[in-house]
Amino acid sequence: MNITVIGTGYVGLVSGTCFSEMGNKVTCVDIDVQKIQHLQQGIIPIYEPGLEPMVLKNIKKGNLFFTTDLKIAIKDTEIVFIAVGTPMGDDGSADLQYVLAVAKAIGENMQKSLVVVDKSTVPVGTADKVKATIQKELDKRKEVIPFDVVSNPEFLKEGAAINDFMKPDRVIIGAETATAIEKMKQLYAPFCMSHDRFIVMDIRSAEMTKYAANAMLATKISFMNEIANICEKVGADANMVRIGIGSDERIGYNFIYPGCGYGGSCFPKDVKALQKIAQEHQYDAKLISSVEEVNNAQKLVIAQKVVQRFGKNLSGKTFAVWGLAFKPGTDDMREAPAIYVIEELVKKGASIQAYDPKAMDEAKNYYLKNIANVNYVTSKYQALENADALVLLTEWKEFRSPDFTEIKKLLKKPIIFDGRNQYNAFNLEAKGFEYYQIGKK
């Protein structure tokens, strides 16, 4: 099939590349000239395991193309995906200006029947706005061209997006016509051959499914962190509690690890957007609001533990920080707990020696560029040199089983603040460490 994907951010680039991997001819469109030039040269703007070789392979095969010219890109296409950003507005709502700008451009330039697919995470009712915007432009042109608008939300985990797309848990399709459903079924058939994971529903339910899924996962995280904080107060061990409740198959072990809160491009934005959707329909989403409140507080728990140990004035203190990305397997630092912990420690006078396998450039150039007293080093052990304590904030594999003898030798004192509870099984106290974790005194 001939497919156009508009937007070469995380979702658009992964989606377009994976569709091309199955033999489709895919043209990815973006207004960022430099980004398109880089992609044409095989330079990938994001880190995602497995993405770069797949892009390069399909460019070479002639399945994957990049352009800034939307008019040419949609000339012979059958399906157009809208995969542009929906950043959070000042009021917490999803900003649809880029989605609707693309819809307008489609209406201005389409020459044949199309299936237009909302791949971006958008509020309930967005498909109606996209449809109205396209139709308005067609009416201006006095053209009668049939088209469908479909909702097809993405469920990609950063760090595992290629596998998630190629072997999906489910493919959600919200559509109004049998023609659109059939087109989408044909497109996704190679991805759903072993199991029937193709789920069709009405458009508004499809739009809502994405928000509901992310809110549910965020709720599990905040719930477990709330339990962890109570465990500290009563003298229980949250790690043991996690094992106890996770063994119940109705609950399971996924997303119930105590830690320093969730971040990234999806959970924070989508939880806020869902609150806003509820407010716009005169409903007070108390649980969803609490999920966000708990998470915002949780991001500072490790910083509070540092202050409790070293005092409110951290002048002259240096802390080694392992992990800047919001999770392992990505360079994404959007809403990462590391941002909040480092800001808080520096504000109290501390210096930071930071290391992350992938997110260093993001930190230097964007998320921490205005924060003084942050020194970026080239290895995890270099970060420890003459530091007063180690603060672990992202559970990268290379941090999971470090040389604790080396850590003890390099730190001024053997003190670890573990924001991801990675070392609770190592009996660090017996090795002479002061060890602080989430959910246990």
Which of the 8 DSSP states describes residue 62?
A: T
29 exposed, middle or buried (CB, 10 Å; 0-12, 13-18, 19+)?
Answer: buried
Helix axes 337-347, 301-310, angle to 10 degrees: 30
To the nearest 10°, report the CA torsion of 44, 46, 52, 57: -60
- Chain Cα centroid distance, residue 106: 28
Other beta carbons within 10 angstroms of residue 85's beta carbon come to 18
Annotated active-site residue 266? The verdict is yes
The one catalytic residue among 28, 231, 260, 266 = 266
Question: 9: which residues sit within 8 A by CB, 6+ positions away?
Answer: 46, 83, 84, 85
Alpha-carbon span 100 to 387, nearest angstrom: 50
Sign, Cα dihedral of 83, 93, 214, 238: positive
Helix (H, G, I), strand (E, B) or coil at 198: strand
Sheet holding 79-82, edge to edge: 64-67, 25-29, 2-6, 79-82, 114-118, 147-151, 171-174, 198-201
Q: What are phi and psi of 292, to 5 degrees?
A: -70, -45
Alpha-carbon span 394 to 407, nearest angstrom: 17
Beta-bridge partners for 6: 29, 82
Active-site residue set: 266
